[in-house]
Chains A and B, each alone.
Chain A
Amino acid sequence: MCSSYWDLPFNNYNYSYVDVALSRGFHTVSIDRYGIGNSSHGEPLNQVQAPAEVSALLEVSNMLRNGTFPSVNTKFNKVVHVGHSFGSAQSYVLSAMYPNATDGVVLTGFSMNATWLPATVADWNLHLARLNQPLRFGNVTIGRQSRWSSKYLSTNTVQLIQSALSFIGINFGNYAVWEEIATTEVGDIINGYNATVAPVAQNLPTGYLSWSDFTANIYAFLTPGMFDIGFGLFAEMTKQPVTLGEIFTLANGAPETSPFTGPVQVLTGENDQIYCGGDCLATGGVGPSIPDAVRSAFPSARTFEAYIQPHTGHGINFHYNSTVSACREPTLL
C-alpha cells in the first residue's frame, strides 16, 4: 500500500494515517485529549493541564490492555503510543512515569528543545477562542430556519462581504476580499457561518485560547509551498484551542529521562518551527539533528531512531509529503 500511496494525488483532503496503520495490521484508537474537541472541557487554568491529560491517556491505554475499553472486545497484549507535538510530550511523560503502560513510543513533531517556544507563543498572537471562532467556541448560534438567516446563508460569503465593504466605500477586488477573509481573523469569526451542518457552540471559558488567524497557523505549523492552501484552510477551520494550564505545562514538569526499555522512534519535519526553530538539521555540529537529542532521554530504549522528514513543517500530516511520513511511522513497532 505504501509504495503506491506515494504516487497518488492529494485528494479532497482525505488524509488518513489510520489507513496506513491498519494496512499493516494495527488497530488504532485516536483520542481528543482531555479538555479538547469532544472530550470533557474542564477549568482551563488549573484543571486542563498536561498531568491530567497524561492521566486520561494512561486510563485509555490500561483499558485497552485489560479488555475494558468500551465497545471493544479485544484485550490487547501490545499497546503502543504515537503522538504529535504536545501529544508526543504527553506520550513521553507516560513512558517515563508508567513505563509498563506502553510497548512502543513514536514521537512525531517533537524534540526536547524548548528554545523556540516563546517565539511560537508570540507568533500565535493568542486571542480568546470564544471570540476568535464564536460559532464553534463562543455562545453564538445562527438559526438556519428563519427567513433572514436563510436569505443571507445562501449568499456567497465573499460576495456578501464585498458588498458590505463596498456599501461603506471600501471597494476591493475578489482576490483582495478573499485575502481579507482567509488570512485574517475575519475568516475565523465567520467560520461555520454557512456550514451545511451548523457547528455546536461550545461556550468555552475565556481561559481557552487560540492563535488569531491562518497566517499565524502557517508560521507555526506549515512550510510555504509544501502544503495545499485549501487543506491549510481546512486546518484553520477545524482548529482546536489551547488552555492557559496547557501553556504552563507545555515543557515544564516533564522528567529528564524515561526508563522505558522498548523501541522509540522520533519523526519530525525538517522545517519544524516550534521544535527546531525552522531547521532541524542546523545543530551547530552537535549531533545529526535537533530531534536526535531525544535519544539521551531514553538511555534504556531497545532501539532509537530519529527520522527527519524533508520539506515538512510542524504540522506533518498537512504537507504534501504526509503519505511518506505516514509510511515511515512506525517501522520499528
Chain B
Amino acid sequence: MVAASLFAPVFLAGLAAAKVCTNVTVPVNIDARQGVFNVPTLQSNLDATTFALNFTRQGTNFTNVALTGYQTLQFSANISAKYCRPDNDNSTNPTVQVLAHGIGFDKRYVCTQ
C-alpha cells in the first residue's frame, strides 16, 4: 500500500496530461413548449419557505394550482461546454459522450480539474 501511494503522484501526472480540453461557448436556439406558472415574485427567504410548503403539501398538486397555461418559447441562449478528447486520439470514428449534470452542480461534477 505504501508503494502504491508513492507511485500514485507520478501515475496521476501521467493521466492528467493525457487529454486535450477546450472551453466552448455554444450558441443554441431553444424551442420549448412549457408551462406558465403564477407564483408571486419571491422577496425573501420567508417566501422561499412558503413556496416549499406549498410545493410539498399533501393532498394538493401545487404544480397544477400554479399552472395558468402553456406557451412555446423560442429564443437564443449560450451553453457553456467543455470538450475533451484523448491526447493521442487516432480513432477514425470516435463516440462522444454528452454529460449533463444534476441539480446543485455544474459541469465540474464530471471533472474537478
| Residues of A participating in the B interface, judged by any CB pair closer than 8 Å | 1, 4, 7-9, 11, 13-19, 21-23, 25-34, 36-40, 42, 45-47, 49-52, 54-57, 59-61, 63-64, 69-72, 74, 76-88, 90-91, 103, 109, 118, 121-122, 124-128, 131, 206-207, 209-211, 217, 221, 234-235, 238-242, 244-250, 252-253, 315, 317, 330, 333
Contact = CB atoms under 8 A, between A and B. Distances in A.
Q: Which are the 8 A-B pairs with shortest beta-carbon distances? A: A85-B102, A87-B100, A38-B80, A37-B106, A59-B28, A51-B32, A30-B107, A40-B77
B48 A29 contact: no
A19 to B, nearest CB: 6
Interface string B51-85: 11001101000010010000101010111111111
Contact of A128 (B44, B75, B106): B44
Interface in B1-57: 4-5, 8-9, 11-12, 15-16, 18-19, 21-22, 24-37, 39, 41-45, 47-49, 51-52, 55-56
Interface string B90-113: 010111111111111111111111
A63 B26 contact: yes
Given A13-B112, A60-B98, A79-B98, A69 B30 contact: no
B101 A64 contact: no
B107 A37 contact: yes
Given A52-B34, A248-B35, A82 B98 contact: yes
Contact of B24 (A70, A79, A91, A239): A70
A57 B111 contact: no
Given A1-B15, A33-B100, 10 more contacts: A19-B19, A29-B99, A37-B80, A40-B78, A46-B37, A52-B34, A122-B52, A122-B56, A128-B44, A217-B104
A8 B104 contact: no
A252 B63 contact: yes
Contacts of A60: 26, 28, 79, 81, 98
Given A19-B18, A126-B48, A248-B35, A84 B95 contact: no
A218 B94 CA distance: 37
Nearest to B19: A22
Interface of B: 4-5, 8-9, 11-12, 15-16, 18-19, 21-22, 24-37, 39, 41-45, 47-49, 51-52, 55-56, 58, 63, 66, 71, 73, 75, 77-86, 89, 91, 93-113
6 contacts: A11-B8, A30-B109, A50-B34, A55-B31, A81-B98, A82-B98
A8 B14 CA distance: 14
Given A57-B100, A87-B102, A80 B110 contact: no
Nearest to A123: B52
A228 to B, nearest CB: 12
Contact of A77 (B89, B93, B100): B93
Given A28-B83, A34-B79, A121-B52, A80 B106 contact: no
Nearest to A103: B95
B97 A330 contact: yes
Contacts of A54: 32
Contacts of B22: 71-72
B109 to A, nearest CB: 6
B91 to A, nearest CB: 6
Contacts of B58: 118
Contact of A207 (B24, B25, B41, B80): B41
A88 B100 CA distance: 7
A143 B98 CA distance: 38
A49 B100 contact: no
B80 A80 contact: no
Given A7-B4, A46-B36, A51-B34, A87 B101 contact: yes
A84 B26 CA distance: 21
A121 B100 contact: no
Contacts of A47: 73, 75
Contacts of B32: 49, 51-52, 54-55
B112 A126 contact: no
